Structure 1
Amino acid sequence: VAAMAGALLKIKPVIAVENGEAVVKGKARGVKKGRAYLTEAISASGIDFDKPLALGYTGTDDALLQAYVAENQDLLQGHAVQEINVGCAIGTHTGPGGIAAAWFEKKTD
């Protein structure tokens, strides 16, 4: 029932993996707001672009991921970005059409 209501309202879960566990960080209404949430999280995290950044997608079509990359060329340009297909462990929480990002944060001493 929750999945049907979420689909009707176009609510996208925003999850993070913390200490090996999937945690709901919030919910975004619509694809654009979900992608904006992801961009904000990457920008605010203190990402270490000297290390690889992975962007992934769930399902069989990477069209939403390609749209995200195109929208965020200013953030991603010139950095090593690996695109991957996310497996079922994360895909179970998001369903098809999910976008994922994994990165290293800069060490603060």
Structure 2
Amino acid sequence: MIRYKKEFKQSLVEMHNQGRSYTDLSAEYGPSVDSIRNWVKLYAVHEVDGEKWTQADVNALQKENDKLREELEIKYISNNLLLDSSAPCDSSDYFVLSAISTCLLINSNDYYGCR
């Protein structure tokens, strides 16, 4: 599979936006009609509340948002574990506690007083 640079894709999108057809661009530059059509969708500019966004921008923001939600969930769960002093502490908790302590940058031995 051939990988094309972002600048190349954007230049084909610009040429399409200026009136060139998908088939003409495909014949002249090589990428398939479907690839060019997908790039046009990806780099189409939409204005929201005065700001301009492309689908690529939205995809990047969604990916970042998903990562932040996951981090927040881990912190929320670990906070509840720390606040629950009646929670049992046995060897089966070690791996969960180790992962949470790594995320929170604290010593796993500090959880529930486990040693």
> Structure 1 length as normaliser, TM-score?
0.29
Considering fraction of residues, name the structure with more helix: 2
Larger of the two Rg values belongs to structure: 2
Higher relative contact order (CA 8 A, sep 6+): 1
